[in-house]
């Protein structure tokens, strides 16, 4: 599931060059997982100015994620 979602999220993010994105395997990076309180995969976080503004785990709704990305970009452009 994680590998499939990773590819889908990666393709979605490519449409928004304003975003900085990164991927980590929480089993290989437990300090990052604990810092962001990620205990299940896949998990997607959107962080704006150091604050979490969106989180989705397990069954990620890509339409909802894209709506949130667009909202954040529009907010930043105001």
Tell which residue, 15, 4, 6, 20, has the closest CA to residue 67: 15
Q: Give the chain's domain count.
A: 1
The pLDDT, as a whole number, for residue 2 is 80
Residue 1 in this model has a pLDDT that exceeds 70:
no
Confidence of residue 56 (pLDDT cuts 50, 70, 90): very high
The pLDDT, as a whole number, for residue 9 is 93
State the pTM of this model.
Answer: 0.84
CATH number of the structural domain spanning residue 54: 3.40.30.10
Q: Which residue has the higher pLDDT, 66 or 4?
A: 66
Token pair recorded at residue 43:
């998990």
Q: State which residues form the domain around 41.
A: 2-77
Token pair recorded at residue 35:
């810092």
The pLDDT, as a whole number, for residue 59 is 87
């Amino acid at each position: 599931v994680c590998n499939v979602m990773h590819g889908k999220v990666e393709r979605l993010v490519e449409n928004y060059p304003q975003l900085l994105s990164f991927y980590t395997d929480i089993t290989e990076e437990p300090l990052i997982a604990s810092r962001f309180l990620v205990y299940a995969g896949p998990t997607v976080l959107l962080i704006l100015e150091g604050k979490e503004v969106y989180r989705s785990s397990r069954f990620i709704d890509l339409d909802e994620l894209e709506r949130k990305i667009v909202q954040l970009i529009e907010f930043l452009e105001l």
